[in-house]
Structure 1
């Protein structure tokens, strides 16, 4: 115990390792998760050892976490600020109004201190970021002594832990098991039907899966039917949707052959394109042959951010017709990435500015086309200039204080970094040629920043945990359940009766308004489909911005 007290870094990383181990324990569809597990271990270890952690450590890592969170959510957040997504925004407003209203009501009815009320809000809403924004806001209340500030900040962590456990179990069971029964649907069948209606095809692939029949293929054919036709005639015969990449005549190989090159009997032709188009083209050329040594030609792959304003809002088919470089250079769009979501690269897919297109084709053709429609994506290493500047701007935004009805309100470092993260992430997505912050790196910093902040909070708050549990033991579980059921039920009714949201999307959206990853995981397992994720991503992004701001709001109102 003395070693941990003298070396707080040991206690800190012990909380992380033991907490994430505890978070892996599963009871049915329920897992605590690493963050809640870390907080439980930190509270117990803090009560036993009374380890002292500098507040600066918490502030720094929380700033890293909240900026990374905003950076990842920024592109999708601003993309969802449109009329089509307005109905999902309504669900997030229901969540915010309900949890703040219930927290204020409980605080008045049971004479709760500001820390306990904020912890109830954070835990019942299962939003860990509220712990940070509320804790920071409590530290800025001018009419509290330092002892009271420490005590109330400890209450935030304890109340959060208890309410989180009950809130987590409630939202998982409610969305995955009870809501389908209330809506009178089989979630699996409804999700499949909606997916077929929206896409006309099956679901997506898991991260470790690959297509057994990839859309983009190369095939070799023996010329029997196309005798006397030129290369350009063969390509035009299929609407320029295939390209002749190489021709082998005897021992001579032409790569690529000129457009006016005339094919003769027994030539071997390598054609590249989408499978359906290649099959059609083969009917006009001759029988398919096995791969021919020496006839294969390498194709390059590059990711291009679409920056051409004239291309925005057009289908891939229209784009390829307007840019002859696609057909002449043998370049194909094989994937469309929009806000970290992969879209099918079909001819009917409409692209938007900021989309990342994966282009495959000859290297010379790729370079010319990429320069016309956008810019090559640079996302191989973190741009620490951009990252550091973003956190600096966020910290400065957080220092701005505005009075509402005599109550001083400020975003604090957490809220300010969240706003700057959203803006910096969105601005980066416009071109993707600067400010690189790879998703894997951003996710690692986000998770590590929050985990260390939670561990620091738990270690400091441990001594205040038991007295609070003795005083409000029965209230905390009740609050955790009520603050999930009330907004979720209202959203369920409003979503169906007034907003007419499709049932699988509505269930996913309610999990998203609660920012509950375990809930959407359970929902998609029941649905055996990723369709509910389409509703989840919209509300999750919006709630990730709105809910952290409820911490300073609640503290400001109660503190006044």
Structure 2
């Protein structure tokens, strides 16, 4: 242990390595996850009085919270509208419930501000609250440095226990118990909703190493017999408009396809389009043939950030109708990415928002024309450190502002300030994607690493107080972890169905999102065998990612007064 005390960097990265190893342990559908595992390991090492400088914790927490806000910014501001009000109500239920329960427990059991904050952070399974609450405790007046350190340690210990029980509860409640309460087979309900949205093919989610055996978009070649004398434009119109003629081979010559080009007997035609519309092509053109050498057109793939105001709020079907280039040039939307890391089904009824990144597939010439009209090509090959640095500076300065509500001093702190700055900078980047790049992979890495290092530092500092605290409160912490999940989730279930009339698969995803629980939505989509519940999750997840971290300073301000 002497080596770890003398070289805290060894202790820090040992906590990360062993913590993520512990986080991989699985019991049924439950895994602790790397963050909880890191906190457990760091608490154990902390009992041996191994510490890391507090400045390390502050820096990495700023990186984490800014990245979190940056990723959620576009979707957060989009959801501040009347249409999303019903989902916003679920987030308010979550915030009001967890704050009320935490304050009630603190008053009833005479809990200190650190323990109450840890219960709130852990039971709500929102790791960011650990940071915002810990920072706010450090700013309380009238406390000695030893008291501050003790209370901050209690945050980490209470968080660890409550997080474990809160995580298990939210995963089992949303994926296993709620479908029974709603009297649905989640897989069937998700499939029916998908079909109602005219998705056509199955909404089953694919693993990272899987691809569709029957992809939605295909290319096929046909020998012209029945289509002799018909124009390319007429042919495409009869096939539904979602099929384009990409190439014509007449003898040994390649003929450029235009809407007025007439097909002749024995021409070989290359068609590209949706599988569903391709089925009838053989009846309209002639027999399908094997691939023809020389008759092949490479298709380009381009990610495009939606920036056009007229495009915002339209379905993919409406987008195709308003831009004839989709049909003329044979360009197709194959994927919609929201909040940089959330893939949602690209059905004809899927609504696209400003800030969404859609994947277009088609001929390069057609792609270039469309990109100029609906948005900007996403160039995420390198992080813009100027933009990143200025964002964190702005957030840190914002966090220093103190507003007094009576005798209660309220401030966002570095955490809350960087979260707000991240939301604003991420939203502005989505509007002007030509600068301020922060690639999703980089943002995710910095977010995860920042949180993991912060949690490790917090656990190391809290280690000496952990065991006495657990003996003092006993079953209170597990009870709080379960109650803080069940109460808001149950209220949201009732309100969501009876008053807000949210579709059942979307409601389950939204409840997982209001708790910012990635393990819960993962379990839900596995049970549903579909990504449809993700449509509800994305809205509440973005809103709660902003609202829940702010509950830390609010709780500390109320109890600290």
Matched, 1:122 2:121: yes
Measured after TM superposition, the shift of residue 545 of structure 1 is 1.2
The aligned counterpart of 1:248 is 249
Residues 211-220 or 14-23, more deviating: 211-220
Question: What does the per-residue CA deviation read over 1:37-74, in whole Å, with 9 as the maximum and x for residues that have no partner?
Answer: 111111110112x1221111000000111111111111
- Aligned equivalents of 2:506 and 2:316: distance in 1? 27
The aligned counterpart of 2:535 is 534
Residues 98-107 or 146-155, more deviating: 98-107
Contact 2:117/2:155, CA 8 A, preserved across alignment: yes
Matched, 1:361 2:358: no
Contact 1:229/1:263, CA 8 A, preserved across alignment: yes
Superposition map of 1:76-155 within 5 A: 76-155=75-154
Residues 50-59 or 376-385, more deviating: 376-385
Note the residue ranges of structure 2 that are not aligned, 5 or more in a row.
none
Contact 1:303/1:358, CA 8 A, preserved across alignment: yes
Change (3 A) 1:267 1:437: same
Measured after TM superposition, the shift of residue 529 of structure 1 is 3.4
Note the residue ranges of structure 1 that are not aligned, 5 or more in a row.
none
- Aligned equivalents of 1:459 and 1:90: distance in 2? 38
- Aligned equivalents of 1:216 and 1:480: distance in 2? 47
- Aligned equivalents of 1:221 and 1:263: distance in 2? 12
- Aligned equivalents of 1:220 and 1:47: distance in 2? 70
Change (3 A) 1:229 1:159: closer
- Aligned equivalents of 1:180 and 1:32: distance in 2? 23
Change (3 A) 1:68 1:504: same
- Aligned equivalents of 2:436 and 2:363: distance in 1? 29
CA RMSD of aligned residues (A): 2.4
- Aligned equivalents of 1:101 and 1:235: distance in 2? 61
Change (3 A) 1:514 1:301: closer
Which SS does the other structure have where 1:310 is aligned? coil
- Aligned equivalents of 2:9 and 2:123: distance in 1? 30
- Aligned equivalents of 1:145 and 1:354: distance in 2? 46
Greater Rg by CA: 1
- Aligned equivalents of 2:476 and 2:315: distance in 1? 55
The aligned counterpart of 1:462 is 463
Contact 1:354/1:431, CA 8 A, preserved across alignment: no
Measured after TM superposition, the shift of residue 346 of structure 1 is 5.2
TM-score, normalised with respect to structure 2: 0.92
- Aligned equivalents of 1:531 and 1:260: distance in 2? 41
Residues 512-521 or 51-60, more deviating: 512-521
> What is the aligned length?
558
- Aligned equivalents of 1:348 and 1:496: distance in 2? 22
Contact 2:198/2:347, CA 8 A, preserved across alignment: no
The aligned counterpart of 1:55 is 54
Residues 55-64 or 507-516, more deviating: 507-516
Contact 2:187/2:529, CA 8 A, preserved across alignment: yes
The aligned counterpart of 2:453 is 452
Contact 2:78/2:353, CA 8 A, preserved across alignment: no
Contact 2:93/2:492, CA 8 A, preserved across alignment: yes
Residues 185-194 or 13-22, more deviating: 185-194
The aligned counterpart of 1:266 is 266
- Aligned equivalents of 1:506 and 1:324: distance in 2? 36
